[in-house]
Amino acid sequence: MRIGLIVAAACGLVLMVGSLAIAGDAAKGKAVYDKHCAICHGAAGKGNGPASSMMNPKPADFTSEPVKKKSDEQLLKAIESGLPGTPMAPWKGSLTPEQIQDVLAYVRAFGK
């Protein structure tokens, strides 16, 4: 099977057919996460941030098996576009593509 590679130099991403290689920097992602995400998802990514008690459904627990099983594409789409029917807002346009990749890399670190 031939796998095509597309190098998106502008974003510093390497895309492979059917999968997304995370090119983000988790250390940079932590700073973005702490500023924008921890209020809902919690400092440790468990979905228990200070605002979570007022939310229904509750924010995702990034340490949980269901979230760990999600593909990078699914998580990226949730960050970029939000999740209808939940408090998860879209971040595309508010964060740069690089910041979104960095946050994704940081979120993936919770599951390890």
Per-residue pLDDT reduced to its tens digit, 6-53: 333 233 333 333 344 568 999 999 999 999 999 999 999 999 999 999
pTM of the model: 0.79
**Residue 3, in any domain of the structure:** no
**Residue 8, in any domain of the structure:** no
| Structural domains counted in the chain | 1
What CATH number is attached to the domain comprising 69? Answer: 1.10.760.10
**Residue 81, in any domain of the structure:** yes
- Whole-number pLDDT of residue 23: 82
Identify whether the C-beta of residue 24 lies closer than 8 Å to the C-beta of residue 101.
yes
**Residue 1, in any domain of the structure:** no
The whole-angstrom separation of Cα 71 and Cα 23 is: 15
**Residue 13, in any domain of the structure:** no
- The 10s digit of each residue's pLDDT in 87-104 is 999 999 999 999 999 999
Identify whether the C-beta of residue 45 lies closer than 8 Å to the C-beta of residue 62.
yes
**Residue 79, in any domain of the structure:** yes
- Whole-number pLDDT of residue 21: 54
3-state secondary structure of 48: coil
For residue 66, which phi and psi values (nearest 5 degrees)?
-60, -40
- Whole-number pLDDT of residue 22: 60
Q: Which of 35, 110, 37, 101 is nearest to 68 (CA)?
A: 110
Q: Which residues span the domain enclosing 58?
A: 24-110
